Amino acid sequence: MEKTTALLLIDIQNDYFPGGRFELDRTEAAAAQARVALDFFRERGLPLVHVRHESLQPGATFFLPGTPGAQIHPQVAPRPGESVVLKHFPNSFRQTDLDERLRAQGIQHVVIVGAMTLMCVDATARAAADLGYGVTVLHDACAARSLEFDGQAVPAPQVHAAFLAALGMGYAKVVSTADFVDQAGR
């Protein structure tokens, strides 16, 4: 794999894990796969960026500044010298220097892992594609939660699948972590 590809680890933060303020479905399993991708990039000296969200909106209930829940989960915690972008919106590019950081490194393709599939992963993948990056989303390294629409409950696995199916139609290549590592490691 070339150094023109970067891994984006989006919002793998404590509040999304069991005991956190906004637990997601399968967060631990997704974080384990994100760690596989992180190790793959680290072992090869490939670029990576940790993205961390802090909620500044009035009435926010999770990812509050200065709380343990807003910190990146230890399973994928940044090492000294690794790039960390702080964001306040679902789109990791909005009002951050993420695009500038990536372009300064000659990045042409991003591999996305993290949470939530239905919000920040989706918004960032679409923005990256709109900015001209190639995009790959590792589906088993992302986590979602159940939603409700018009009185109908939508279980987390269906939310996850629907958003990934939509991304796969025109914004991203959607693959498993194992398939990505197998193909990229050749």
Interval 91-133: pLDDT, tens: 999 999 999 999 999 999 999 999 999 999 999 999 999 999 9
Given 87, 122, 140, 142, which residue is catalytic?
87
- The end-to-end CA distance of the chain, in Å, is 8
CATH number of the domain encompassing residue 177: 3.40.50.850
pLDDT higher than threshold 90 for residue 1: no
Strands annotated E in 29-125: 48-53, 83-87, 109-115
Given 15, 25, 120, 122, which residue is catalytic?
120
Interaxial angle between packed helices 156-170 and 122-130, expressed in degrees from 0 to 180 and rounded to the nearest 10: 0
Q: What rounded mean pLDDT belongs to the chain?
A: 97
Number of domains in the chain: 1
Determine which helix (DSSP H) or strand (DSSP E) holds 175, and give its type and residue range.
Answer: strand 173-175
Say if pTM beats, i.e. exceeds, 0.85: yes
3-state secondary structure of 29: helix
pLDDT for position 25: 97
Determine which helix (DSSP H) or strand (DSSP E) holds 66, and give its type and residue range.
Answer: none
Residue 175 backbone phi and psi in degrees, to 5: -140, 165
Q: Work out the average pLDDT over 138-156.
A: 98
User: Which domain covers residue 117, as residue numbers?
Assistant: 5-184
Q: Work out the average pLDDT over 126-145.
A: 98
pLDDT for position 2: 80
11 is known as an active-site residue: yes
The predicted-structure confidence for 68-86, as pLDDT tens digits, reads as follows 999 999 999 999 999 999 9
**Would you place residue 10 in the very low, low, confident or very high pLDDT band (cuts 50, 70, 90)?**
very high
